[in-house]
Amino acid sequence: MAADPAGAVPAGAPPPASLRQGLRYLGVSILLFGGVWPITKAALADATPLWFALNRAAMAAVASALLLAALGRLRWPLRADLPCILALGLLQLGGFFALTHVALEWVPAGRTAILGNVTVFWLIPLSVWVLGDRVSRNQWLAAGLGLLGVLALMQPWALLGSGAGLGPGVLAGYGLLLLASLAWSLAILVTRRLPPRRPVLELLPVSFLIGAALLLPLALWREPAGGIGRDAWPYAIFVGAVAAPIGTWATIEAGRRLSGIMASVGFLLVPALGVAIASLWLGEALGWDVLLGGALIGASVLLAARG
């Protein structure tokens, strides 16, 4: 998923009309992105991860271009926006898609939905180091709570026992998800340091295309005999042509219209819905570690939003 990391959010409460519009966009974003990981997990029964990720990026490039054309906003990006385009395409889309889709081979969809969206504990120290931001006590506490939530989901105590259910593949999957959230965080830092002149929505077709260009050689190298089977195509079409472009658009518009706290709290429902769908549809266990990890990460986002 791609958000509008550079979009400014008004400091005060949004006007009622803007609030209503923002809540509608937020609802669309939650519904589309909340189901992405369970749907992708189901698709991987008849598809290989990197080819599915490539299809997601390529279809989204076409669909977002068609969406912008329909809105009369399709135009060639400015050269000054190249850093933002490369950050979105290589890190937040291509790199994030590659790492999360491969991790999904080993990690349950519910945990992927949570860990793939954890950026708080990366962003806070990196913002201090790279951007020289001042960080409040609440924000440092938020980073610590986020880290505790990640540890709860990764079950490090299982290593002290028999390690059942926590083999090398699962550990590698968790590592890939943490790298994915780092890639997303770095993209946010780049777009904050070098904000684009045009709205991020208008940069999405080229950004998705760059992401697809990164994924193609990876798919050819790692999955030379891979692809997308017949049973997985309905999932691939929904994720690539609907969820990715429309969900991204809705996320950006919600971020523009809602306050920072309201948007942060609202977007917590994305992994929550992902966990619920994975539990109900895929039968994934909803253990205490998932509930505790999700609660800690949710608390970290709330603290970070309060500043």
Task: List, for residues 237-252, the tens digit of each pLDDT value.
Answer: 999 999 988 988 888 7
Percent of the chain predicted with pLDDT > 70: 81
In a domain, 12, yes or no: no
Distance in angstroms (rounded) separating the CA atoms of residues 161 and 239 = 39
DSSP 34-88: HTHHHHHHHHTTSB-HHHHHHHHHHHHHHHHHHHHHHTT---PPPGGGHHHHHII
pLDDT, residue 156, reads 62
Lookup: tokens for 39? 């749907």
208 has a pLDDT exceeding 80: yes
51 contacts 226 by C-beta, under 8 angstroms: yes
In a domain, 20, yes or no: no
Residue 275 or residue 231, greater confidence: 231
pLDDT, residue 151, reads 75
Residue 188 or residue 256, greater confidence: 188
pLDDT per position as a tens digit, 210-235: 999 999 999 999 999 999 999 999 99
Residue 51 or residue 122, greater confidence: 51
Total Cβ atoms within 10 A of residue 126:
17
Across 291-300, average pLDDT: 77
In a domain, 149, yes or no: yes
Provide the CB-side half-sphere exposure for 223 (13 A, CA): 18
pLDDT, residue 265, reads 61
Across 55-79, average pLDDT: 94
What residues make up the domain containing 66? 25-306
47, β-bridge pairs: 228
Least confident of 1-10, 120-129, 195-204, 253-262: 1-10
194 contacts 133 by C-beta, under 8 angstroms: no
In a domain, 13, yes or no: no
pLDDT, residue 298, reads 75
Residue 43 or residue 37, greater confidence: 43
Number of domains in the chain: 1
pLDDT, residue 145, reads 79
70 has a pLDDT exceeding 50: yes
142 has a pLDDT exceeding 90: no
Give me the chain's average pLDDT, please.
81
pLDDT, residue 42, reads 92
Distance in angstroms (rounded) separating the CA atoms of residues 153 and 102 = 18
In a domain, 4, yes or no: no
Phi, psi of 224 (to 5 degrees): -60, -30
10 has a pLDDT exceeding 60: no
305 contacts 260 by C-beta, under 8 angstroms: yes
160 has a pLDDT exceeding 60: no
Distance in angstroms (rounded) separating the CA atoms of residues 7 and 2 = 12
In a domain, 275, yes or no: yes
pLDDT, residue 266, reads 66
Question: Which residue blocks in 195-287 are alpha helix, DSSP H?
Answer: 204-222, 233-237, 244-257, 260-267, 269-281
Distance in angstroms (rounded) separating the CA atoms of residues 217 and 214 = 6
In a domain, 248, yes or no: yes
116 contacts 180 by C-beta, under 8 angstroms: yes
Residue 194 or residue 1, greater confidence: 194
pLDDT, residue 39, reads 93
